[in-house]
Structure 1
Amino acid sequence: MYSIGLDIGTTSTKAVLFSNDNKQVDDYEVTYPLIKEKPDYAEQEPEVIVAACSKTIRELINQASINREDVRLVGISSAMHSLMVVDKNNNPLTPLITWADNRCAAFIKELKVSSLGERFYEKTGTPIHPMSWIGKIQWLRTERPQIFKQAFKFISIKEYLCKRLFGEYVVDQSLASGTGLYHLKDQKWDKEILEFIGIGVNQLSKIVPTTYELSSLTPKGQMDLSLTEKCRFIIGASDGVLANVGANAIEPGTIAVTIGTSGAVRTIANKPTTDQHMRTFCYVLTEDSWIAGGATNNGGLALQWYLAEFAKELKDIKGGQTATEQIIQEAMNVPAGSQGLLFLPFLNGERAPYWNPDARGSFLGVSMIHKRAHFARAVMEGVIYSVYSIVKGLQESIGDLEIIQASGGFARSDKWVQMLADITGKEIHLPETYHASALGAVLLAKHAIGENDLFSASKQTNNKVFTPNEGNHIRYQEMYNLYERIYQKLEDEFPVFVELQSK
């Protein structure tokens, strides 16, 4: 018998098949675009993602050559902060507005520096940033009043999927806690915030625990997913908190670093935890455990951008290296620190630790000695500097963090993982599967049906351990200090670039 972790991400959905002893058997992935038709917009088509969810499970079963009757359990993981509006017939009135969308930045800037913004953060644990539903809904209220008036429900992509497949509007506590509308301690939608943005609690889904078992698949759902009515579905949580479970980062002093399209740094907390400088988030894992940390907007997406725009001639080699592997290999011919070339990776603005939607990417220190390989390595290093800045901020608010459990697409590259060890100066452990969110969804699902204890079952042996190169670490410390100083000097100038780019 098998379990599936369905992981709905920003640019792809993955279905991962696990055996009874939680070993990965197979996986299938469907990619889709992040649509950026206007400056600061980052949207997706909901139907494309729903279709991807169905296809990944269908094709996974076919690819693994198993009987659909043998899949008995599915746990669901989903990217956070997405928002769409539907009418009473569950028809979308908007595209899916993702975490990377910055259109409400002007409103958020004002709210962030106000006492009201500080109070909202303290109550919800969600930083005041355009990713939050507060700004997204306020933007719809002022810029799309007709849609706002017609809104039956404000929902995430997972809620839309649940309504389509199971016929119910429900949202798990984890995703709810990432909206900025959920009171962490009271564990319900916050009345003051809802009044502030002008919506009623009836326009939001019913909040359920992350262990909630969804009703049986509709007949169409069974057909679309190629599963039987006996297969049980657990609603699960957000991809971020589940990555901690799947990466075995659920003990004090251990952090999970996940770098996929974006990136995040997270650690377990035994109570709702906020930061006096509003640098970190706090989201629900279960009803009595939380995950604190910070996220960057710019992870593997930065390298894919560089590859697409400046190394177009590199193509996947059939039976050989992918284009991404080729550019990474090329970058490794350059010494640590890229010979003084520095990249600020803020292609989509930035979340933690700066929470600045106006931040923009920059190459600094460019000279005639720098070739394409230098720029590629600088991009990779810039992404890790961003992650390291979150690690440092989290240590200041939570305490010392010694071990890093790494996961996400970047973990397919030993060279990039070694770079993380060298920059942070910490041991990096890789779990057996880099699909940490999918594994976390399965472990939580088994916990929900009483088959295991979540915190015991997540413990697993590490596939590899990376130790820092001391010489590289010293060089990187110098470059990272420069990274921080340059950001501070450019912070006041970023809005100028935003204005120029909007013309």
Structure 2
Amino acid sequence: MEVFLGVDIGTASTKGVAVAADGRVLARTQVAHRTSSPRPGWFEHDAESVWWADFREVIAVLTADTRLRPAGLAVSGIGPCLLPADVDGRPLRPAILYGIDTRATEEITLLTERWGEAEIARRGSLLTTQAIGPKISWLARHEQEVFAATRKVFMASSFLVHRLTGEYVLDHHSASQVSPLYDQRSRAWDVGWWDELAPRIQRPALAWANEVAGRVTPEAARQTGLPAGLPVTTGTIDAWAEAESVAVRNPGDVMLMYGSTMFLIAMADRPLSSTSLWPAVGVRPGVSCLAGGMATAGSATAWLADLTGTGFAQLTAEAAAVAPGSEGLLMLPYLAGERTPIFDPRARGVVAGLTLGHRRAHLYRAALEGIAYGVRHNLIAMGKAGIDPKRVTPVGGGTTGDLWTQIVSDVTGLVQTLPRETVGASYGDAMLAAEAVGAATAAQTALWNPPTRRIEPDATQAARYDALFEDYLELYTSTAPLVHRLADRVSDESTMTPNQGR
């Protein structure tokens, strides 16, 4: 039977699926890995020992059943990130990851002053820790030998495509996050700014995520066991592949990704502007979108589970027995700074209202509620930019069980519709692979993963959560000056052992 393979490189693991032309998942696997953090605020992946090694391990499992014949392959991965490589595509250092890596804050300021906020915004997103341009500038300023040797730059998906096919190509969506070097109006590289910032680095060719980028070379076939000549799509960033997996493609469609971070994507039929979110080009021609991302979500709940030595199932059951509002606890979940909509890498977690009567269940529920307030904050920013949410689809590991998703619906007042499959980005990759080789149309893949259950907001909690949301906003503004001083002091003086991440 012909199958379409999808492989996604995530922050904490790599997942893969083999999917039939009717959308049935015939094989799946997952490989855990760790994200290194050599210094506070730095997050990296080694492309060889994480991306390529994981890919080969996943493919070995997916192709073990010889009755399943690969007909197409698509890959996705964390992004935007920066992997500098030499002219042959060999990595020169570990990849610098997406917005959770905050090392380039000074470069953000310098480049914004250099080119002007208005001109940068006219091309796409303002410069934040999510942007690749400042990370390239950081490399030029702080690792000059590496920068001098760099001739190609990759994200997780484009690195795998290059390793498999020899093609140096990036999809338009990923390129739109190489701010400010891609112009979202013309959907092309800004050659002048690229040559000024990265004069010796080749610009990747541009293509759409559902187009074939190349075919598996004999050498890649030898290393992976894939058939030589197998079509490989251009690939894209994981969150957008996950949006594809649940057919979040039409104006007003919104995806909430409950993962290590919380990520939001809202679709639009025209380019939108925002200074508190990330405007981007869609995965498909003619589609635009706005994205938001919280720096911690599942990573914050995992931190609490580790801290208390308690499993998720028990913590969830205990937190479900705590009344909404966590009996007076309010938490800012900014344990790794915060991305949208406040763009504050020096933000930190705050728990307000602690008493001797509070237990781990209260803290856990307060964390879930704090993340839900962050979701509401992002949705308000999307509304101001012109998004009217018509369909909200939750995805990711955090959708398991009902507590977290119910809290988010209660806090936001929005219905969420759970899909049948929650495999994630790798499933969206398989959809894109099937479309790229002509085995299915976009209309057909949209039916692969129908909705199965609705999460309705509890109207009796609306007033309580409205008030707590206002308290959440005030807690940030009132504590930010002190928190920033503390963050600066730790940055200057800390000897803390770096967290190795999940």
Q: Structure 2 length as normaliser, TM-score?
A: 0.91
- Cα deviation, 1:220-277, whole Å, max 9, x if unaligned, reads 42244332225322123222222222223222333111121212111212222222x3
Q: Distance in 2 between matches of 1:126 and 1:8?
A: 24
Mean Cα deviation higher: 229-238 or 384-393: 229-238
Deviation at 1:482, TM superposition (A): 0.9
- Secondary structure of 1:286 counterpart: coil
Partner of 1:372: 360
Deviation at 1:71, TM superposition (A): 2.2
Letter in 2 for 1:80: G
- Secondary structure of 1:493 counterpart: helix
How big is the alpha-carbon RMSD for the aligned residues of Structure 1 and Structure 2? 2.1
Partner of 2:258: 259
Q: 1:478 aligns with which of 464, 467, 473?
A: 467
Q: Distance in 1 between matches of 2:177 and 2:401?
A: 30
- Cα deviation, 1:355-403, whole Å, max 9, x if unaligned, reads 1111111111111121011111111222222122111110111232143
Deviation at 1:463, TM superposition (A): 2.0
Q: Is the 8 A contact 1:342 1:364 kept in 2?
A: yes
Q: Is the 8 A contact 2:158 2:234 kept in 1?
A: no
Q: Is the 8 A contact 1:3 1:442 kept in 2?
A: yes
1:429 aligns with 2:428: no
Q: 1:126 to 1:54 in 2, by over 3 A?
A: farther
Partner of 2:119: 119
Deviation at 1:444, TM superposition (A): 2.2
Mean Cα deviation higher: 296-305 or 431-440: 431-440
Partner of 1:26: 27
Q: 1:52 to 1:68 in 2, by over 3 A?
A: farther
1:302 aligns with 2:300: yes
Q: 1:340 aligns with which of 313, 320, 328?
A: 328
Q: 2:56 aligns with which of 54, 57, 65?
A: 54
Partner of 2:498: none
Letter in 1 for 2:481: D
Q: Is the 8 A contact 1:250 1:455 kept in 2?
A: no
Partner of 1:414: 402
Alignment of 1:179-218 (within 5 A): 179-180=178-179, 181-200=181-200, 202-218=201-217
Letter in 1 for 2:480: E
Identity of matched residues, %: 24
Partner of 1:103: 103
Q: Is the 8 A contact 1:281 1:294 kept in 2?
A: no
- Cα deviation, 1:320-366, whole Å, max 9, x if unaligned, reads xxx22222222212111211211111122111111111111111111
Partner of 2:445: 457
Q: 1:264 to 1:4 in 2, by over 3 A?
A: same
Deviation at 1:115, TM superposition (A): 6.8
1:284 aligns with 2:286: no
Q: Is the 8 A contact 2:276 2:340 kept in 1?
A: no
Letter in 2 for 1:121: A
- Cα deviation, 1:99-149, whole Å, max 9, x if unaligned, reads 1211111232455578713321320x2331122111111111111122211
Q: Is the 8 A contact 1:256 1:404 kept in 2?
A: yes
Q: Is the 8 A contact 2:294 2:340 kept in 1?
A: yes
Deviation at 1:184, TM superposition (A): 1.0
Q: Distance in 2 between matches of 1:231 and 1:91?
A: 23
- Secondary structure of 2:354 counterpart: coil
- Cα deviation, 1:143-184, whole Å, max 9, x if unaligned, reads 112221121222222222222221221111121111112111
Letter in 1 for 2:18: L
Q: Distance in 1 between matches of 2:112 and 2:258?
A: 27
- Cα deviation, 1:406-433, whole Å, max 9, x if unaligned, reads 1011112322111221111111101111
Q: Is the 8 A contact 1:68 1:227 kept in 2?
A: no
Q: Distance in 2 between matches of 1:224 and 1:413?
A: 39
Partner of 1:319: none
Q: Is the 8 A contact 1:295 1:351 kept in 2?
A: yes
Letter in 2 for 1:260: G
Letter in 2 for 1:186: S
Mean Cα deviation higher: 98-107 or 325-334: 325-334
1:87 aligns with 2:75: no
Deviation at 1:196, TM superposition (A): 4.5
Deviation at 1:88, TM superposition (A): 2.3
Q: Distance in 1 between matches of 2:329 and 2:78?
A: 33
Q: Distance in 2 between matches of 1:365 and 1:112?
A: 39
Q: Distance in 2 between matches of 1:79 and 1:485?
A: 32
Mean Cα deviation higher: 281-290 or 448-457: 448-457
